[in-house]
Structure 1
Amino acid sequence: MLQVKNLKVAYGGIHAVKGIDLEIKQGELVALIGANGAGKTTTLKTLVGMVKPAEGDILFNGQSITRMPAHEHVNHGLVMVPEGRGIFSRLTVEENLLMGAYVRNDKAAIKQDLERVYELFPRLKERMKQLAGTLSGGEQQMVAIGRALLSRPKLLLLDEPSMGLAPIIVQKIFEIIRMIAAEGVTMLLVEQNAKLALQTANRGYVMESGSITLSDTAENLLANTKIQEAYLGE
């Protein structure tokens, strides 16, 4: 579904991403792990057109999207839940969710998808008329994921979904991520909690200083002693 070939991204004189290759097959949940500053978020932003690469190619379902404007990615089914959630704080929960369906006009299906989001996140249904800016961090993360689902993603990019959340809320968010994956949505997950990410994913890539240094099944990465020492606190 996604092929990234020799992707390079530079900010000024800083090479944030140094010629990486990665791929994601349909139906996979792939984790991208690494320390702060490794280039993970820059990679995601480049995939959705928010940052332009210096070199390389990005293929989505066989079509090059390297120079595609950011706003067109959603029409093609490539959707990101950004780090920090990026909700509209002065809109209600339901208005935020419906923003995900902005490019759609199939009203009956939108209503169906909205109800599905409320099934996944019952707390959002209770707060549908509440201003999103008044929600807790965990509830805002639910809104951000729900909004992305309303756009019917073919590939969902999740950037640090556990950031700043209490452990019990993190477990709930990852439970939902597993449910979404089980329904067939392909995902690329960037997550600081490497252990949780690899326990959730099928495969993983390790990123260090702008380069992919290792890729393997999630099971093998969890068992890798270097990964355990560097990222799993073992």
Structure 2
Amino acid sequence: MSILDIKNLQVSYGGIQAVKGIDLHIEKGELVTLIGANGAGKTSTLRTLVGMEKKSGGSISFDGKDTAGTPVYNFVRQGLVMVPEGRGVFSKLTVAENLRMGGYHRNDEDGIKADIEHVFELFPRLKEREKQLAGTLSGGEQQMVAMGRAIVSKPKLLLLDEPSMGLAPLIVAKIFEIIRMVAEQGVTMLLVEQNARLALEVSQRGYVMESGRITMSGNAQDLLNDDRVRNAYLGE
């Protein structure tokens, strides 16, 4: 069953159409990636899914319901959670306080504590720094905080926007290892990522976006082996 169904989605900024009528769906339990060059419309798509941008046409159905008219603050409550590009941690709060913010809409205190402990198991470095202000962490550690906070929010669908951006190769490898582990635990994910190879290697399916349109889609392994993808995105 599809948890996300996008039909003919269009997004415009003034006279510029950033997303030009795309169709995309995600089944429960899938890890799907959306790849494409800078300016292709990937981030605009994600921001529209969580109500941060207004669509100019088309429909978005999440968990069987049309999302039109849903206030931005209600998406997390409904289980649609985004880790934004640039991480967006609360810099003046500690690591532990940032993680607790992920559970602000929950009222099961024991469950929140258990999920924070689970995040510390995934990211032992955060356990070492749980009392440290998030603004003093490295970029990679802040990405871990942002992902951990999202996990504590108990997402039905987790949107990841460029999780590897600006990070050292060793940290990128660790982040993708965690993405794979979280997916294996049953969290459904839509991953937007410029590192096409890593994104396709952890995903089951993929979409290629160019100039606001979906130009290719299919099994992730098939896309990895496609000459057009290899030439355009894999540097081959």
| TM-score between the two structures when normalised by the length of structure 2 | 0.98
Partner of 2:136: 134
Misfit runs of 4+, over 3 Å: none
Deviation of the 1:66 alpha carbon: 2.6
Deviation of the 1:129 alpha carbon: 0.4
1:101 to 100, 103, 107: 103
1:158 to 157, 160, 177: 160
Aligned residues: 234
CA RMSD of aligned residues (A): 0.5
The residue correspondences of 1:107-126 to structure 2 (distance < 5 A) are 107-126=109-128
Structure 1 residues 116-167: Cα deviation after superposition (integer angstroms, max 9, x where no partner): 0000000001000000000000000000000000100010000000000000
Q: Does 1:148 align with 2:150?
A: yes
Letter in 2 for 1:104: R
The residue correspondences of 1:41-56 to structure 2 (distance < 5 A) are 41-56=43-58
Structure 2 Cα separation of the partners of residues 89 and 100 of structure 1: 15
Partner of 2:94: 92
Quick check: 1:4–1:22 contact (8 Å CA) kept in 2? yes
Quick check: 1:52–1:67 contact (8 Å CA) kept in 2? no
Structure 2 Cα separation of the partners of residues 157 and 49 of structure 1: 13
Q: Which runs of 5+ in 2 are unaligned?
A: none
1:185 to 169, 182, 187: 187
Structure 2 Cα separation of the partners of residues 230 and 207 of structure 1: 12
1:218 to 205, 217, 220: 220
Partner of 2:73: 71
Partner of 1:58: 60
Deviation of the 1:67 alpha carbon: 2.3
Letter in 2 for 1:168: L
Structure 1 Cα separation of the partners of residues 178 and 198 of structure 2: 13
Letter in 1 for 2:72: A
Q: Secondary structure at the match of 2:189?
A: strand
| TM-score between the two structures when normalised by the length of structure 1 | 0.99
Identity %: 69
